[in-house]
Structure 1
């Protein structure tokens, strides 16, 4: 079995996830427990529609840390002609110009609405604690908020990819388009609450027969489409803010975005 589902907006995803299924294994509907972030099925549905605000204060603190680390400028390099150093411009040399050496010098410019497609893997193993899921999600939400404050426009995709032997089941949900305003409470539920993966994503997979096919819903796997900035699945049992920020900065550099430090 190989499945790929894409939902272009949350409304379509909720409409699908809220439906009942005929699956034999339906972990999405089990009684409330810490493993689901303390949210039963009905409460998870309410949070999905209304948003989750419990960790907004923590996200605000992380965002301040990010803004102190990442400036609102990118670095580009412009050519400058001189009498020594750099490489030779053959055309200028043949024309007899005394300044035929080229070297690049840094110049800064504002971000001016550059679009970054952020793909966030929310899949995780059963032994990953709700606290780790919430902490990782809070860091991601703070990052998205900080990037938008710095002038970027983010398209945000919540990805759930699981494998079972040679089979894969992948779901992409666009939770924010680049031209939409960031709804933080909505985004927080999608990226930080354990019920998004362990209830909503499970529910979709149950409807497609995956839960009865793949033992324990399979094993977390990487997304095929990683966008411009990919936040990987959780394997570690601890999320450290500084390491998460370093990881994001290294990925931004791969896009040609050089981050300057204060």
Structure 2
């Protein structure tokens, strides 16, 4: 974890979910105080603190099959309706990846290069940051629905042949007239990592990632920031618009479910198509 304090702003940066988990474990008493095991309407299907920590290690599979089915159907529909670019690989003397077997056998063309007829303006790596901040009254169902749409988008990008670099982001401001803000950023997947759908589901779709993991991590902010945001009870007012200056150049921040009843992502296909068009992929 990196902790950056600049005036009234405090930011926590985590290099992985495992990095975040190590910090949350230090504050596990906070989760007991918040009765995580007896509030399914707020935390989702979490049965205990240890269950939350288990999901942070292996991911969330309860709704994964349904999500991947919808993602497959969405990608199939998009491919039928639009000209979707596909990456093609070929062996060459130079390229992005090495074929170890061909290299060891002495084949001169042992590198794998990738060719795209229509190169998207994003290049081969797409960086996405999901703003997962949400007010107290947003239902677990809306948070899950939102996350499943984003997972479908990630799946579509990987299916096309692009590499994804994934983050979560959340920022909250003072409950009063103060100017204090607190922000928590987590890297979920590096571009070089293979996609782990269950882990992405946990980070993007499970309510307890925000309400259990990130809100607990907020106890690492300085005392004056915590007091201003009422960390421990209200946890500040989530911000909808976040700057992307802390992310890789060109990173796209996906907006959050900010208020109860926001059903703007109920149509998964429309959500995926919109962002593929924004990225210049279809």
Change (3 A) 1:196 1:54: same
Tell me the SS of whatever aligns to 1:5: strand
Does the Cα contact within 8 Å between 1:6 and 1:173 map onto a contact in 2?
yes
Equivalent residue pairs, number: 224
Q: 1:53 offset after TM fit, Å?
A: 0.5
Greater length-normalized contact order (CA 8 Å, ≥ 6 residues apart): 1
Q: 1:109 offset after TM fit, Å?
A: 2.6
Q: Give the TM-score normalised by the residue count of structure 2.
A: 0.70
Q: Could you say which residue in structure 2 is the equivalent of 1:239?
A: 263
Q: Could you say which residue in structure 2 is the equivalent of 1:223?
A: 242
Change (3 A) 1:5 1:74: same
Change (3 A) 1:52 1:242: closer
In the aligned structure 2, how far is the partner of 1:38 from the partner of 1:177? Answer: 28
Q: 1:54 offset after TM fit, Å?
A: 0.2
**Structure number, greater radius of gyration:** 1
Structure 1 runs not aligned, ≥5 long: 76-106
Change (3 A) 1:28 1:244: farther
Structure 2 runs not aligned, ≥5 long: 1-7, 87-115
Equivalent of 1:42 in 47, 50, 57: 50
Tell me the SS of whatever aligns to 2:182: strand
In the aligned structure 2, how far is the partner of 1:28 from the partner of 1:114? Answer: 43
Change (3 A) 1:230 1:66: farther
In the aligned structure 2, how far is the partner of 1:178 from the partner of 1:66? Answer: 23
Tell me the SS of whatever aligns to 2:187: strand
In the aligned structure 1, how far is the partner of 2:276 from the partner of 2:252? Answer: 7
Q: For 1:202-253, what per-residue CA distance to the aligned partner results, in whole angstroms no more than 9, with x for missing partners?
A: 1110132454431311111132217533211112524365645434544444
In the aligned structure 1, how far is the partner of 2:211 from the partner of 2:125? Answer: 30
Q: Note if 1:115 corresponds to 2:125.
A: yes
Tell me the SS of whatever aligns to 1:44: helix
Q: 1:59 offset after TM fit, Å?
A: 0.6
Does the Cα contact within 8 Å between 1:113 and 1:153 map onto a contact in 2?
no
Q: Could you say which residue in structure 2 is the equivalent of 1:55?
A: 63
Q: Note if 1:193 corresponds to 2:206.
A: yes
In the aligned structure 1, how far is the partner of 2:153 from the partner of 2:274? Answer: 14
Does the Cα contact within 8 Å between 1:7 and 1:172 map onto a contact in 2?
yes
Q: Report the aligned-residue RMSD.
A: 2.8
Does the Cα contact within 8 Å between 1:6 and 1:171 map onto a contact in 2?
yes
In the aligned structure 2, how far is the partner of 1:67 from the partner of 1:245? Answer: 8
Q: Give the TM-score normalised by the residue count of structure 1.
A: 0.75
Q: 1:70 offset after TM fit, Å?
A: 3.0
Does the Cα contact within 8 Å between 1:37 and 1:194 map onto a contact in 2?
yes
In the aligned structure 2, how far is the partner of 1:28 from the partner of 1:120? Answer: 27
In the aligned structure 1, how far is the partner of 2:17 from the partner of 2:163? Answer: 18
Change (3 A) 1:21 1:51: closer
Q: 1:65 offset after TM fit, Å?
A: 3.3
Equivalent of 2:184 in 150, 154, 171: 171
The structure with the largest strand share of the pair is 1
Equivalent of 2:17 in 10, 21, 30: 10
Change (3 A) 1:252 1:182: same
